[in-house]
Each structure stands twice: as structure tokens, then as C-alpha cells.
Amino acid sequence: MKKILFNPFEKFTERPLIIAGIVATIVLSLSASYFNSRFDGVLDLHFSTPTFFLNTLTDNAINVIILSLSLFTLGKFRNKKTRFIDIFSASLIARIPYYFVSFLNWNNIVLNESKKLMDSFLTLNPSETPNFDGIQLSILVLFACVSFVFLAWFIYLLYQGYKVATNAKGAVEVVLFGVTLIIAEIFSKIIFYLIN
């Protein structure tokens, strides 16, 4: 079970991984739309209303494509035997844990509390000290902590898939992977800015 959760790329071939990844992306994009979640960047998640299934599915498809192309480019540069299908399956599977963060916005709780917090800052006079609601802060801190755990899981899975696909080893590969992930995030933000 541990291998399935943290390194399924060593246990399964690319075909079942791709099928599972596509099914999970479709189903969890549908649930993300229910929880008003937009994955508008490779590493980003925001809540907004209204959110539609076509939006969330498009968001996730764009993110998977950008991740796949970015990591495949790096993989080919580091190892000529890197196959796109392996990087693509890693990109699909790795994002699955991150999709579950959208469930935290049950009944729009994170969206509503975030809006309240922003409104309190916007209506604040320069001389006033902000007055934070304890429950509101607790909800947002809990959301941030859980989001960070799932984001870390996503990145860990992505690196494991990349490592299997490219036979990457050593600290240099980790650094190059991290830089490529940041570049993919920047590129995704530009794409989402242009299409919205």
C-alpha cells in the first residue's frame, strides 16, 4: 500500500497509470467544480464562484500538459532514452493527491472565511489594528497546513515518477527538477492569464 501511495511508478506500467490518472482527473475535476475550486497554475489552487466542470477540467488538462512538456524537455536533456508517455503518466498520477485539497472548501467555508478576512483588511483604517476572529484564523491556518501536506505529496510523487522515467540520480537532478517545476508554474500562470 505504501508503494501505491508514494511510488506507484515502480509497481505499475504506464498504461494502467494513464488510465487511472485520466479517470481520476475527470472525476476529481467534477468534484472540484462542486467545491468551487480552480487549479489555475501548476502549483496553484483558488476558490471562486461560480465554477463549472469544463473550467476545472480545462485547468487540470493544461497543468498536466505543461508539466509533461516541461519535465520531458528536462528528461530528454538529461537522458536521451526518456519517453514522453512515462513523464505524462507521472504528471497525471502525481496531481491526484492535490485535487483532494478542493474538498476542504466544503460548503464554501474556505472561500467565505478568506473573503471575510480580505474585507476586514480592505475596510481597515491605517491607524487601526486588525482584529482577527479566532475561528476564522483557525480555519485558514488548518487549510494552509493541509494544503501544504498535499502539495508536498504531489511534488514528491512527481519527482518519483520523473526519477523512474529518466533514471535521475543525485542532488543536481533534484535542483534541475525544482527549477523546471518553477518554470512550469510561471509558464502556466502566463497561459491562464492569456486565456482568462
Instruction: Looking at the chain, list the stretches that DSSP marks H as alpha helix, in order from N- to C-terminal side.
Output: 2-6, 14-34, 53-78, 84-94, 96-99, 109-122, 134-166, 171-195
pLDDT, mean over the chain: 93
User: Is the distance from CB of 73 to CB of 145 less than 8 angstroms?
Assistant: no
The helix/strand/coil state of 27 is helix
Burial of 179 (0-12, 13-18, 19+ CB in 10 A): exposed
Query: Which cell numbers in the block locate residue 103?
Result: 474538498
C-alpha–C-alpha distance, residues 156 and 154, integer Å: 5
Per-residue model confidence (pLDDT) at position 134: 79
Question: Rg for the chain (alpha carbons), in Å?
Answer: 18
C-alpha–C-alpha distance, residues 34 and 106, integer Å: 9
What are the phi and psi torsion angles at 46 (to 5°)? -135, 155
Give the pTM. 0.92
Q: Which residues of the chain have pLDDT under 70?
A: 124-132
Per-residue model confidence (pLDDT) at position 26: 98
Instruction: Looking at 79-108, list the stretches that DSSP marks H as alpha helix, in order from N- to C-terminal side.
Output: 84-94, 96-99
Encode pLDDT of 124-135 as tens digits: 666 666 666 778
